[in-house]
Structure 1
Amino acid sequence: MANKKAHVISHTHWDREWYLPYEKHHMLLIEFMDTLLDTLEKDPEYKSFHLDGQTIILEDYLQVRPEKRELLTKMIKDGRIHIGPWYILQDEWLTSSEANVRNLQVGHDDAKMYGDVCKVGYFPDSFGNMGQAPQMLQQAGIETAVFGRGVKPTGFNNEVSGEAFESPYSEMYWESPDGSKVLGVLFANWYCNGMEAPTDKEKLVEYWNSKLEGAAHFASTDHMLFMNGCDHQPVQTDLSEALRNAGEFFKDVEFIHSNFPEYIEAIKAELPDNLVTIHGELRSQQTDGWCTLANTASARIYLKQMNAKCQTLFEKVAEPVATLAHKMGMDYPHHLFTYGWKVLMQNHPHDSICGCSVDEVHREMVSRFEKAEQVALHIIDEAMKFIKAKLDTMKFKNISEEAEPFFVINPTGHTKTGLVELNVEVAKKYFAPNYVQGAIDDANHATVPAYKIVDENGNEVNGEIVELGLHFGYDLPKDKFRQPYMCQQLKVTVEVDALEAFGIRRLALIPVDTKVEAEGSLVKEGRILENAFISAKVEDNGSITITDKTTGHTFEEQCIYEDHGDLGNEYIYFMPLGEKPITSKDAKAQVRVVKNLPHVAEIETKVTINIPKSANEQLDKEMRELVWFNGRKAQRVEETIPMEITTVYTLERLGKGIKVKTSFVNEAIDHRVRALFTTKLDTPFHYADSIFEVAKRDTVPSKEWKNPCNAQHQQAFINVHDENVGLTVANIGLNEYELLRDGENTIALTIHRGTRELGDWGVFPTPEAQCLGYQEVEFEIIPHGKDVYASYIEAYQFQIPFAAMQTVVQVGEVKEYAPIIVPTAGEGIIYSSLKLNHEGNVVTRWYSVSDKEANLTLDADMNMFMSNLLEENHGAVEHTVTVNPYQIITLGFDK
């Protein structure tokens, strides 16, 4: 009688786009799905197929084969094809917390249209795994995760070494920081260890002897997992015969054409007591460090910047603003959000957002990002127009008959302070029959008065008004043809002080007889930026020295630039052997004040460093000969070219940090540029914003680590602090950093990386990955004292804009606006989202980044219920809840 069971799970790992453009992979997918359905129909012994955990495959197939929907649905309902739980197989590190949630939600929603959701946390090829995954999976009713990376050491082609590190078995428990735990199953021999099983009776003996021995080495039970498939693997149509024949020769093994639910149920019944528990992030830290693939965080940075912008627009602006509008009576556009999120998430597969595909793939991604952005902006515009129509602005009429009102929304769950910029149109003249040139002339010759900015009580507000001149525009009414006009346009920048969470503030431009220049300066002694919180001196080399006035602590050498060569690829950075960095430390900067107003000041620096033009010809030769990246001996050429780096340091009157915009024209190839921030803080740890957590990480890697580079992922910021002071560096779309082991705990933020090849199995040139031309990045340097959480919130708010729109003087329904909810968040509790679920309930998500419990109070005129990541109603709760350490908490409100 068989005492071993070989569970063979048929699958294909379908990278939607990668070494081939999307449509080429798409056409191959149609062929693959046709074959799969035909095999399932003709072979009743071919029991089931795991469709890679991503429901987008169904969309992509039915787009070309709509006539197959009925058959496809039948196979799913019959349990022959297993789908979900994700919409796409994302890169977990480079997609936001809420994007990971939307991926799970959309995957569940789509799967339910066809049949059951496969409740398996499927991460076959993620480049490491997020630490909060167990908690997220549990909240979606998923108790098991299967994954391919992050725990055991893997080398070339994902071969597994015999030495055990975190776990001696393929099976282990995986625990999030909050204590949520799931069963974890590692593809110890990768997800292709059962592919192309032979039917030939001589070949199958050799095949299965090797495969069974490899699986038994890691399995903790008598149930062994064999994954019958690989990347874009065609269906093995003769698998039933292959398994029958194998059973005839291996009498002590039962070969089962299995699926994940059956396999997981079987191993759970036999798990030994000595399974280890692994904790938090799975980043392959106990390896030589070469194949963590962390440098995908800096491949094609322009993609990461576009992604950060789109994610922020959807989750941090469009959803909350549409929710506020819904509270005033607008229909919430679920259909538009689903469509827009899907377009955005089509750029989130790991080979897409990681920037590690051929150039054609990433060109198409740019178009998708632009489409997603347009959807988000449309939703925001429609919601803001609805709110505009509801807001009463008659108070401004009492101040001036010629008032030009506008309103500002804080779409976040924390009080927000900062500058808002919007365009205001005055002297508007609509076109009419026989009045086109007249409209142009009248608008052109209109006298634009001087203005001041006031609040509803007539109090003057700090700001700047710049005349932009004649402007053409048009309205798009809901009941008539577009209405063109000419006007005079003003760019208005206004200081918003402490606008409450989800709050609305009404402001207006008021004509004045004489424009009076506001008094005050944030520039001291020529090149010092100073407000009540910070004093920052721009040094001769263009770097900046920042003193936190609340603590008296000074951080020197902030924003030194560093250039290194890169002989690696889109996946992995590799510095030429023996190369020393080129830095701006000894440069002589051009420094000038470009703005000095009472509410904001800017100082610009320009530094030039001379860098090698490219790698030498040896790199071409090594690429042609498929020399693995860390065996390359190439160097950079001796010829250098100048690279001028322009930096604009901005300090706002109410700002807690120095905002930085860096730009340069990249004309060199094969190199990496980083901005350096010296901390000189004595601590072995640092903290990186990640998915629903601020991850505490060791600065010095494990003893097994050989890679000189220890670059890692971040979302919104990186932080280094001791017991008294710290430094947070926030960013927008700059996902790679490194804590240098230089004795000073210097933060290195990657702002450019250029490489010439994809870097996987073969030669796939990627000239566009060199990112030539104009580059611009943004970040913020935030010193802090003991209140590290305040610096985190400042960093999160740096990414999120206010929403603002011009309105008119009108009688409106909303005279005294009250926020939809009034949150009071305890220490370490961070806002994540505000939206409507499919049942029409307002839901809001928060999470703790602290090791201590704290209270969260949400005052609202609605009853509150506990929810989860799928935004289901799990029962009523009081308006004050206790948030446990590192907990993700979703709360809903009855309609």
Structure 2
Amino acid sequence: MTKQQQTAHIISHTHWDREWYLPYERHHIRLIQLVDTLLDTLEQNPDFRSFFFDGQTIIIEDYLQVRPENRERLVRHIREGRIFIGPWYILQDAFLTSPEANVRNLQLGHQDAAVYGEVSKIGYFPDTFGLTGQIPQLMQQAGITNAFFGRGVKPTGFNNMVSDDGYESSFSELVWEGPDGSQVLGILFANWYSNGNEVPVEIEEARRFWERKLGDARQYAATDQLLFMNGCDHQPLQTDLPEAIRTAEKLHPEVAFVHSNFPDYIKAVEASLAGRSLSTVKGELRSQRTDGWGTLVNTASARVYLKQLNQRGQAMLEKVAEPLAVIAKLHGGEYPHHLLDYAWKTLLQNHPHDSICGCSVDEVHREMVTRFDKSYHTAEGIVADSMQAITAAVDTSGFAAYGEEAVPFVVTNTSGWSRTGTVTIELDAARQYLRDGLPLDENARRMKAVDLAGRVLVDEQGQPIPCTVEDLGLSFGYDLPDDRFRQPYSCRRVRLTFEAADVPALGLRTYAWVRPVGANAAEGAAAGSAPAANLQALASVPASLVRGGRVLENDTLRVEVMADGSFTLEHKPSGKIYRDLGVYENTGDIGNEYMYRAPAGEVPLTTLGLNADIAVSEDTPYRASIEITHEWEIPASADDLLEEEQRALVYYPERQAKRSADTVTLKLRTVLRLERSGKGLEVKSFISNTAKDHRLRMLFPADLAAASHRVDSMFELAERPNEPAPEWQNPSNAQHQQCFVDVAGENAGLTVANLGLHEYEILRDGRSTIAVTLLRSVGEMGDWGWFPTPEAQCLGEQTADMLLLPHSGDAVTSGAAAAAYQFQIPWTCAQAEVHAGTIPAVYAAVRWSGGTAAFSSMKLNKECGDVMLRWFNLTEQPCELELESVLPVAAVYTSNVLEAEGEELQPEVTASLKLPLGGHQISTVGLRLR
């Protein structure tokens, strides 16, 4: 490489965290000022050529919300190629957002960019806290052949010599390969995305600037194309950049200084790389080959309540609202694209890394809770409307034989697998509308007089099902018709809990609460208010899953609780017994919202050996629960030195603070719940947090010989080593997970699924213990200054939900992975009326099988109305999908994450369609309906 060949590409941008160390609106004001200045500069100075809008289209929304009068000016510059927009709606955290949330983010970014101009095909991840392994495939499917990022790989800069060394890259330019083999050109911001920030105009200052900056860029560059990013976090526009470039040209005539853009830079790099090779980095980029102190991994456990709200919101949208809206649309309802877009955008506004990671000031996260609620309530409305259309179309006429008192209802399973589990629904046994004109006291009297005795729950075949009935008494309700004013009523409400068996995937099963007729009526009368009237039919049902005061057992599992609240879990098919499960571990935390740091030399506290109160809290034929209560004295907080060190900006690995000698009582209530047909044990923890500056985990020793484990990530079951790399110095090796983590040996394994608990660690304790973080309490934001965050201590009531799934073999073929995915998805139920309908009492819109495939989503394409289905292969081995549908399908075609129409697979689905699925492949299929 000669100096005359070098080009310095200077790209103007600003990295726009919508909210972070200031509340959203404070940053919003600065954004308005920035874009105002940008528009004026573009119009007044033709030498200021272009600006990159940080890869996210929400900047346009935020600006035009306040400056709608400038829309035409903004659009003109976008269409002239001077402002580059997209491809994302927001810049999200990759590990804490679901696979489908990442896809919707891309879809909405492309959709919104198309309104204004051309979308930038730039895989932009400037400050993402590590990157998931499937991003290369995601980018390729979106027509993006590159990825620009700032974290996850450490460049070695070996004097322009290519070498491959694990997760290291010789240069800032590299080949990034996903687990399926997809490759993109990776560009690491080796000198950060601000290495060309505030370029001096004055010649002496510029001389010093460029001498340093050119040297830094050359150290890691594989080509003669040097990248300089002119901007930083919330950076105001450098309006005199053209003049600064002219100064640079005078100082370094051997370098071509260009006010550039990403497309031009990529073309130049690709041309310079012709005939050359680069280091290939494979899979996840998590800074594995570093000292472990700068990975920001513990943002996975900062403000856990945010992650839990996010999991609830994502599941409600992608796994409930969208598939139910598809079924409703197919049977006379509506598919509300506009409402789904609104709900998704509101949710995605919580997905930037400084938001969902919980590493901002308290005001930011208060506003996030409101956004989570807004998105969730919108999804609830979509679900309610869809269920109304579905229940109106389901054929419940078979229950007419039970008379006018029959109360039918529909249970839907919107997961990708057939499902059996415990369901709870509230029903109105009778209603009296206020429009009928009766006095209110007479309304109330009639509802109180409704006889509930002798009723029984039956399925669509009339078979009685054990259930628990709670009389909720007199209640109030209302209808909101589309064509009339609201219709209030008084009602007699009951709550039914029972086991719904074999509800089809992406389908439903119909039940009814009825008063038996004929012989059953006499039995019902004899049984009094017992909900199971047909006692003979139910004689084979076990009376209880409780075996003594501390043992739960079904056909697959046996659970025994010890005096200290820990428990053993026997998996009968494999014969494996797991011991010492459910122990709580507590340590101090003198870190911040970004990183966990235990006080030096601290020995963790545990509940092992701490007596607990233990009692059976639920005992029914279909489900039983044991409740464990601990009252645990732990340090109240860190000592006073911590605040001194925080104010002095002492780097957290170097802090000397300890835990306080004062103690508080930490009350822990743990509920172990086993279902009759359950393959796993539910563990629900209720935490009354009274302490500060600490971390609480639950421990699950697997006692299996394994050098690695598998963990659910974005469209991938990633394999990670149990031992960190030699460079790793951090005593903690905590890592990210999505839905579950699995440790497996030769013949047995343990999967721990979670709801919004994204941090785990495989302990190096000789037992392959899976430690799941339930709560982390800290008092400062961290990063570049002192920002107190008292609400990040998470005082008060907290909860945590997990599912333990012991299995034979691996998590995929044993079905543990599918069960862990189902654990994320709530059942959806709705009351119906007795009538004929077009949907049979047991129904599935689509049936599929596919070995190692996992189902991801069912939705409608916004442009053409086709049904879009997505799967991904959990293993590296190819498999075959087999697809059947009762829908009026005209054609089936392959697609991608942007739902573009690809190859037509079969003109019509007559019996079944077989589709090969490569190892780790993400596969989207479109169904065009007649």
TM superposition score category, shorter chain reference = over 0.9
From 16, 19, 40, the equivalent of 1:17 is: 19
CA distance, structure 1, for counterparts of residue 604 and residue 85 of structure 2: 49
Q: For the Cα contact (< 8 Å) 2:559–2:567, is it kept in 1?
A: yes
Residue 165 (structure 1) shift: 6.3
CA distance, structure 2, for counterparts of residue 10 and residue 462 of structure 1: 67
Residue 344 (structure 1) shift: 0.3
SS of corresponding position for 1:244: helix
Q: Which residue type is aligned with residue 855 of structure 2? A: Y
Residue 819 (structure 1) shift: 2.1
Matches within 5 A, 1:540-551: 540-551=563-574
Matches within 5 A, 1:77-96: 77-96=79-98
SS of corresponding position for 2:582: strand
Cα deviation, 1:205-247, whole Å, max 9, x if unaligned, reads 1101110010011111100000000000000000000001111
Matches within 5 A, 1:27-106: 27-106=29-108
Residue 496 (structure 1) shift: 1.3
Q: For the Cα contact (< 8 Å) 1:21–1:361, is it kept in 2?
A: yes
Residue 781 (structure 1) shift: 0.8
Q: For the Cα contact (< 8 Å) 1:864–1:894, is it kept in 2?
A: yes
Q: For the Cα contact (< 8 Å) 2:155–2:220, is it kept in 1?
A: no
Matches within 5 A, 1:348-427: 348-427=351-430
- Give yes or no for the alignment of 1:473 onto 2:501: no
SS of corresponding position for 1:168: coil
Q: For the Cα contact (< 8 Å) 2:633–2:663, is it kept in 1?
A: yes
CA distance, structure 1, for counterparts of residue 724 and residue 155 of structure 2: 14
From 872, 875, 880, the equivalent of 2:914 is: 880
Residue 643 (structure 1) shift: 1.2
281-290 or 2-11, which deviates more: 2-11
CA distance, structure 2, for counterparts of residue 437 and residue 508 of structure 1: 30
Cα deviation, 1:147-184, whole Å, max 9, x if unaligned, reads 00000179xxxxxxxx9961111100000000000000
> Gaps (5+ residues) in structure 1?
155-162
Paired residue for 1:160?
A: none
Q: Which residue type is aligned with residue 915 of structure 2? A: V
Q: Which residue type is aligned with residue 850 of structure 2? A: A
CA distance, structure 1, for counterparts of residue 102 and residue 329 of structure 2: 25
CA distance, structure 1, for counterparts of residue 365 and residue 748 of structure 2: 41
Measured at CA, do residues 560 and 887 of structure 1 come closer, stay the same or move farther in structure 2, by a change above 3 Å?
Answer: same
CA distance, structure 1, for counterparts of residue 155 and residue 840 of structure 2: 63
Matches within 5 A, 1:707-856: 707-789=730-812, 790-815=815-840, 818-826=843-851, 828-838=852-862, 839-856=864-881
Paired residue for 1:585?
A: 608
Measured at CA, do residues 817 and 662 of structure 1 come closer, stay the same or move farther in structure 2, by a change above 3 Å?
Answer: closer
CA distance, structure 2, for counterparts of residue 305 and residue 688 of structure 1: 18
Paired residue for 1:447?
A: 451
Q: Which residue type is aligned with residue 787 of structure 2? A: F
Paired residue for 1:223?
A: 225
CA distance, structure 1, for counterparts of residue 445 and residue 240 of structure 2: 78
Q: For the Cα contact (< 8 Å) 1:560–1:676, is it kept in 2?
A: yes
Q: Which residue type is aligned with residue 771 of structure 1? A: C
Q: Which residue type is aligned with residue 461 of structure 1? A: I
Paired residue for 1:294?
A: 297
Q: Which residue type is aligned with residue 265 of structure 1? A: K
From 618, 621, 624, the equivalent of 1:595 is: 618
CA distance, structure 2, for counterparts of residue 332 and residue 593 of structure 1: 45
Residue 812 (structure 1) shift: 2.4
CA distance, structure 2, for counterparts of residue 451 and residue 568 of structure 1: 58
Q: Which residue type is aligned with residue 801 of structure 2? A: E
Q: Which residue type is aligned with residue 249 of structure 1? A: L
Paired residue for 2:519?
A: none
Q: Which residue type is aligned with residue 278 of structure 1? A: V
Paired residue for 1:131?
A: 133
TM normalised by structure 2 equals: 0.94
Q: How many residues align?
A: 886
TM normalised by structure 1 equals: 0.98
Measured at CA, do residues 474 and 804 of structure 1 come closer, stay the same or move farther in structure 2, by a change above 3 Å?
Answer: same
Q: Which residue type is aligned with residue 870 of structure 1? A: L
Residue 760 (structure 1) shift: 1.1
Q: Which residue type is aligned with residue 749 of structure 1? A: V
Residue 434 (structure 1) shift: 5.3
Residue 442 (structure 1) shift: 2.1
Matches within 5 A, 1:265-344: 265-271=267-273, 273-344=276-347
SS of corresponding position for 2:114: helix
RMSD: 1.4
* Identical aligned residues as a percent: 50
Cα deviation, 1:242-269, whole Å, max 9, x if unaligned, reads 0011111211000000000000000001
Q: For the Cα contact (< 8 Å) 1:535–1:546, is it kept in 2?
A: yes
Cα deviation, 1:346-370, whole Å, max 9, x if unaligned, reads 0000000000000000000000000
Paired residue for 2:111?
A: 109
Q: For the Cα contact (< 8 Å) 2:508–2:841, is it kept in 1?
A: no
Paired residue for 2:728?
A: 705
Q: For the Cα contact (< 8 Å) 1:327–1:820, is it kept in 2?
A: no
Cα deviation, 1:605-656, whole Å, max 9, x if unaligned, reads 1122210001011111111111111111010111112212111100000000
Q: Which residue type is aligned with residue 823 of structure 1? A: W
CA distance, structure 1, for counterparts of residue 839 and residue 174 of structure 2: 56
Cα deviation, 1:325-376, whole Å, max 9, x if unaligned, reads 1111222111111010000000000000000000000000000000000010
CA distance, structure 2, for counterparts of residue 851 and residue 274 of structure 1: 26
Residue 710 (structure 1) shift: 0.7
Cα deviation, 1:118-143, whole Å, max 9, x if unaligned, reads 00100000000010000000000000
Paired residue for 1:558?
A: 581
CA distance, structure 2, for counterparts of residue 887 and residue 772 of structure 1: 43
- Give yes or no for the alignment of 1:865 onto 2:893: yes
Residue 818 (structure 1) shift: 4.2
CA distance, structure 1, for counterparts of residue 318 and residue 640 of structure 2: 47
CA distance, structure 2, for counterparts of residue 48 and residue 632 of structure 1: 45
CA distance, structure 2, for counterparts of residue 749 and residue 837 of structure 1: 38
348-357 or 849-858, which deviates more: 849-858
Q: For the Cα contact (< 8 Å) 1:415–1:500, is it kept in 2?
A: yes
Residue 144 (structure 1) shift: 0.6
Residue 816 (structure 1) shift: 5.9
Q: For the Cα contact (< 8 Å) 1:152–1:164, is it kept in 2?
A: no
Q: For the Cα contact (< 8 Å) 2:396–2:841, is it kept in 1?
A: no
Q: Which residue type is aligned with residue 314 of structure 1? A: L
From 503, 520, 525, the equivalent of 1:499 is: 503
SS of corresponding position for 1:245: helix
SS of corresponding position for 2:609: coil
Q: For the Cα contact (< 8 Å) 2:138–2:897, is it kept in 1?
A: yes
- Give yes or no for the alignment of 1:664 onto 2:668: no
SS of corresponding position for 1:822: strand
CA distance, structure 2, for counterparts of residue 54 and residue 165 of structure 1: 28
Q: For the Cα contact (< 8 Å) 2:467–2:498, is it kept in 1?
A: yes
Residue 815 (structure 1) shift: 4.1
- Give yes or no for the alignment of 1:890 onto 2:924: yes
Residue 435 (structure 1) shift: 2.9
CA distance, structure 2, for counterparts of residue 631 and residue 69 of structure 1: 50
CA distance, structure 2, for counterparts of residue 707 and residue 300 of structure 1: 22
Paired residue for 1:677?
A: 700
CA distance, structure 2, for counterparts of residue 74 and residue 437 of structure 1: 67
Q: Which residue type is aligned with residue 324 of structure 2? A: V
SS of corresponding position for 2:105: helix
Residue 446 (structure 1) shift: 2.8
> Gaps (5+ residues) in structure 2?
157-164, 516-523, 533-537, 907-912
CA distance, structure 2, for counterparts of residue 737 and residue 787 of structure 1: 19
Residue 817 (structure 1) shift: 5.6
Paired residue for 2:521?
A: none
From 635, 647, 659, the equivalent of 2:670 is: 647
Q: Which residue type is aligned with residue 899 of structure 2? A: E
Matches within 5 A, 1:115-264: 115-152=117-154, 166-264=168-266
Q: For the Cα contact (< 8 Å) 2:166–2:281, is it kept in 1?
A: no
